[in-house]
Structure 1
Amino acid sequence: MLDRLKKEQGFTLIEVLASLLILSIVALAFTAYFSNALTFAKSNQNKTIMSNLARNALVYMQKQDFDRMESYFESGIATVVRPGNSPGTERVGIAPETFGSCTNDTSGVCVFRDMFENRNLEPLRAVLEPRVNGVQYRVVIEYQKELNRTEAEGGALLLPIRATVTTAEAGSGGPGADAVTVEGYVNAQSIR
């Protein structure tokens, strides 16, 4: 029995160090994988937040006065939210600063503040400039005139709009927070 115990040997120091080296290399590979997974999860979280903010803005706009909103979009004084390449091709809509100076003013775009319930612009500002998880976002509502159909095609009952959400400061939302756009329609009161 003593001979058998003498023949048994443990691991040498070199074998232990080699196995630790292999184990640490494998652990580093897993660390990189989990780091990438965390970045991907944060990116998806930012896109989800921005998508929900865009949907929230569309729902808010769908509850406003259809006729006044259509008049605003078709007026020559609507806010240009995206310039066009040639005259008349710009996109109009509502940006956070559109009604920013409308306290008691009744000129310019402020004439259309009555499209919002009780002429109250605070809910509009909250929808267009939300802050979520310490990040300030900016929502722009854009009228898609090229999608609007004629009255014979049922266009008189729908206003095609899109809500685009970006962060107020570039890069402040983290990875995946470039811009999210959601499209929808504002229905006329007669079909609500």
Structure 2
Amino acid sequence: MLDRLKKEQGFTLIEVLAALLIVSITALAFTAYFSNAMTFAKTNQNKTIMSNLARNALVYMQKQDFERLEAYFDSSSATVVRAAEAEQPRRVGITPETFENCTASSSGACAFRDIFEGGNLEPVTAVLSPRVNGIAYRVVIEYQQDLNRAQNAGGALLLPISATVTTAADGAAGPGANAVTVEGYVNAQSIR
């Protein structure tokens, strides 16, 4: 019986070290894979949040007074969100700062505060400057005048707008979640 135990051979130290090396390399590859998967999932989560915030802003704007909103976009007091470029006209809209310092006697963009129900700016401020999961976002409503149709094609009944959501601080939502834009229309009261 002793002879049989002496003849049994186990793994040598080199074989054990080689096996550990192979297992370590495999584990390292899986770690990198799961790390990338977590980053991808976090980025998608933040893009989903930004998309939902943009949709929320569009729904909020669709409930506002159509005529006053149209008058605001056509006025010289409208906030410029994009300056005129070579072949692109200037773009106007509503930013979180548009109605930030309004008082009852303010002029300019503040004269249009009655776009919102009762001139109450708290809800629009909450919609345009939301905070979700500790991250501050910034929503910009942009009037897309170049998408406006002719009056005989229903253009007088629709205001094409878009809502673009970014983070208030660059990179706060993680890599790849820079901005999300959702487009929509504000319908005239006659077709609501």
Flag whether TM exceeds 0.5 (same fold). Answer: yes
User: 3-state SS of the aligned residue for 2:31?
Assistant: helix
Q: 1:152 to 1:112 in 2, by over 3 A?
A: same
Q: C-alpha separation between the residues in 2 aligned to 1:148 and 1:164?
A: 18
CA contact (8 A) 1:96 1:129 kept: yes
Cross-structure match for 1:130:
130
Give 1:1-192 correspondences, 5 Å limit.
2-85=2-85, 89-192=89-192
Query: CA shift at 1:88, angstroms?
Result: 8.5
CA deviation string 1:78-111 (max 9, x = no partner): 1101111269810000001111111223411111
Alpha-carbon distance in structure 1 between the residues aligned to 2:165 and 2:74: 23
- Please list every run of 5 or more consecutive structure 1 residues that lacks an aligned counterpart in the other structure: none
When the two chains are superposed, the root-mean-square deviation of aligned CA atoms in Å is 1.5
CA distance in 2, matches of 1:154, 1:23: 67
Aligned length: 192
Instruction: Work out the CA distance in 2 between the residues paired with 1:55 and 1:105.
Output: 32
Measured against aligned partners, the alpha-carbon deviations of 1:96-136 in whole angstroms (never above 9, x if no partner) come to: 11111112234111111111011100000000000111111
Percent of pairs with identical residues: 76
Point out where structure 2 has 5 or more consecutive residues left out of the alignment: none
Q: Which structure 1 residue ranges, 4+ long, deviate > 3 Å from structure 2?
A: 1-6
Separation of aligned partners in 2, 1:94 and 1:58: 12
Matched letter for residue 57 of structure 2: A
Q: What do residues 141-163 of structure 1 show as CA deviations (whole Å, max 9, x unaligned)?
A: 00000111121011111100000
